[in-house]
């Protein structure tokens, strides 16, 4: 803030040469200032003022923003439906975030359907059921985190429709476990491609903050998930459709209990 006041405010120097004129000007400037004194220091003089019984507020002082701040004030929206937090956030980035939210919810829906399938009494693969339930919750958490980020940047969350997933995952050649895990690997790779697209939109829009958010919160985790599921696919291909699937399911269950 800049301060405009009486011209006498600029008369004080290290030698205290114009102290008397400063005192007379300041006294006339505000009735609340009753008494002035000066004390000599190593660098010159300082002026001390004491307040008397007159407690009227100081008048004649004008506070004014810097010119740069005045320009920024013009950017603050006044419409009630407009976000006050939005700054350098393009429409393309906003749309790409909403698209990614829809991707995460769709993938979560598919994983939830897989959980329901493997939890059936005539399938009874508890390890796979728990794995897909946790995967569904993780994808939903990703969507909610994107929604929070959208609101943080001043965008508007627009939820889209979710497609109905498969409810049966048995496969004549591969079996249900391998078929579901291969489908999971495809979904994780698709999600990773969509995240890379979102990251590209952020870079084209020169939105460094969004690009950093996608890199730090999603890309590394996505690569690790693809590696882990690829190993599961390889193991299920090795054991076939028979008794080995049960052993794989028990191994998966033990891994999840160890992490918990």
Q: pLDDT at position 132, please?
A: 98
Q: Is residue 78 part of a domain?
A: no
249 and 140 share a domain?
Answer: yes
Q: Is residue 10 part of a domain?
A: yes
pLDDT classification of 249: cutoffs 50, 70, 90: very high
The count of structural domains within the chain is: 2
Q: pLDDT at position 34, please?
A: 46
pLDDT tens digits for range 155-190: 999 999 999 999 999 999 999 999 999 999 999 999
Which H or E run includes 260? none
Mean pLDDT of the chain: 81
> 73, 102, 127 — which closes off a domain?
73
φ, ψ dihedrals at 120, nearest 5°: -65, 155
φ, ψ dihedrals at 52, nearest 5°: -95, -155
Which H or E run includes 134? helix 126-152
pLDDT tens digits for range 110-140: 999 999 999 999 999 999 999 999 999 999 9
Four-CA torsion 121, 122, 127, 131, nearest 10 degrees:
-80
62 and 117 share a domain?
Answer: no
pLDDT classification of 259: cutoffs 50, 70, 90: confident
CATH number (domain holding residue 179): 1.20.1260.10
pLDDT tens digits for range 39-94: 555 555 444 445 555 566 656 665 565 666 666 666 666 666 676 677 789 999 99
Q: pLDDT at position 86, please?
A: 74
**Is 97 or 32 the better-scoring residue by pLDDT?**
97
For residues 107 and 132, the answer to whether their CB atoms sit within 8 Å is no
For residues 7 and 24, the answer to whether their CB atoms sit within 8 Å is no
Q: pLDDT at position 62, please?
A: 59
Domain with 40, as residue range(s), is 2-73
**Is 191 or 20 the better-scoring residue by pLDDT?**
191
140 and 60 share a domain?
Answer: no
Q: pLDDT at position 2, please?
A: 44
pLDDT tens digits for range 200-223: 999 999 999 999 999 999 999 999
For residues 220-248, give the mean pLDDT. 95
What is the rounded end-to-end Cα distance, in angstroms, of the chain?
Answer: 55
Q: pLDDT at position 16, please?
A: 46
Q: pLDDT at position 55, please?
A: 64
Q: Is residue 18 part of a domain?
A: yes
51 and 95 share a domain?
Answer: no
């Amino acid at each position: 803030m800049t301060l405009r006041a009486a011209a006498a405010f600029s008369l004080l120097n290290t030698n205290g040469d114009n102290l008397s004129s400063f005192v007379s000007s300041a006294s006339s400037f505000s009735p609340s200032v009753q008494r002035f004194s000066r004390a000599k220091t190593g660098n010159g003089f300082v002026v001390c003022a004491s307040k008397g019984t007159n407690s009227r507020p100081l008048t004649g002082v004008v506070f004014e923003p810097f010119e740069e701040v005045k320009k920024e004030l013009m950017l603050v929206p006044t419409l009630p439906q407009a976000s006050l937090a939005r700054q350098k956030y393009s429409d393309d980035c906003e749309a790409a975030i909403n698209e990614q939210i829809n991707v995460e919810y769709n993938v979560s829906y598919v994983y939830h359907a897989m959980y329901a399938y493997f939890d059936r009494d005539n399938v009874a693969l508890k390890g796979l059921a728990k794995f897909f339930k946790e995967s569904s919750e993780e994808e939903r958490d990703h969507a909610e985190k994107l929604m929070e980020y959208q609101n943080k940047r001043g965008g508007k969350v627009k939820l889209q429709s979710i497609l109905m997933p498969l409810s049966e995952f048995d496969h004549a050649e591969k079996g249900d476990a391998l078929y579901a895990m291969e489908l999971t690997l495809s979904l994780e790779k698709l999600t990773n491609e969509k995240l890379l697209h979102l990251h590209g939109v952020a870079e084209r829009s020169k939105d460094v903050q969004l690009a950093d958010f996608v890199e730090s919160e999603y890309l590394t985790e996505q690569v690790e998930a693809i590696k882990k599921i690829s190993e599961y696919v390889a193991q299920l291909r090795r054991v076939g459709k028979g008794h080995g699937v049960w052993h794989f399911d028990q191994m998966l269950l033990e891994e999840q209990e160890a992490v918990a």
